[in-house]
Amino acid sequence: MALLAGALGAAVALLATRQRWSEGTATVAGGAFPLTAKGSDVTGVPAALAIVGLAALVAVFAVRKAGRLLVAGVLALSGAGIVTAALIGAGDSSALDEQAAKASGDTSATVAALSHTAWPYVAVVGGVLILLAGLLALRYGRLWPAMSGRYERDGAPRVRRKPVVVDPDRPEDIWKALDRGEDPTGA
């Protein structure tokens, strides 16, 4: 459930930041000039945190114990950050004001007839899904399986064995030496 919620939330948040969040008009040489701002123009935070959330979502299954709690916390915080940034960006007109200033050549120009779309709130939904995934990982993560430690070394030094004398006339001794990682030629 957490994996699905996190992946869906990240996809929704990334999709929403690529859409038009606001539109308006700027007065240029006596005429109205239409302007639009995508979510990434308004704020880059939701897209960046969605990528962080995806990375944390994958990492939560790769780590164990305290590491899992830490990564689950990062996952939850990235969802909360997306929600906060999208809600702040929902009413922000600074990206359009900047475009109006460039279009008119007047640094004090602002956008007129400002309207906002529902895409910032779609990004909020994505953030809520990532937040839910993080909270589920914090609550139930200790019960989830982890990646196997089967091939990990324990850190103890390896014991070197003395090479066994190989009879070059016996092919089975040569093959056994090769299996052990020894050079059967004795060079």
Rounded (5°) CA angle 77-116-50: 25
Q: Are 146 and 62 in contact (CB under 8 A)?
A: yes
Tokens coding 147: 């990646």
Tokens coding 55: 């990375």
Residue ranges of the domains in the chain? 2-143
pLDDT in tens, the chain (187 residues): 889 999 999 999 999 999 999 998 887 777 788 888 999 999 999 999 999 999 999 999 888 888 999 999 999 999 999 999 999 999 888 888 888 888 777 777 778 788 889 999 999 999 999 999 999 999 998 887 777 666 666 777 777 767 667 777 888 888 888 888 888 776 5
Residue 141 DSSP one-character state: G
CA neighbor of 57 nearest in space, from 4, 13, 14, 15: 4
Whether the full predicted model's pTM is greater than 0.85, yes or no, is no
- Sheet of strand 112-116: strand arrangement: 31-38, 20-28, 112-116
Give the domain 2-143 fold.
Butyryl-CoA Dehydrogenase, subunit A; domain 3 (1.20.140)
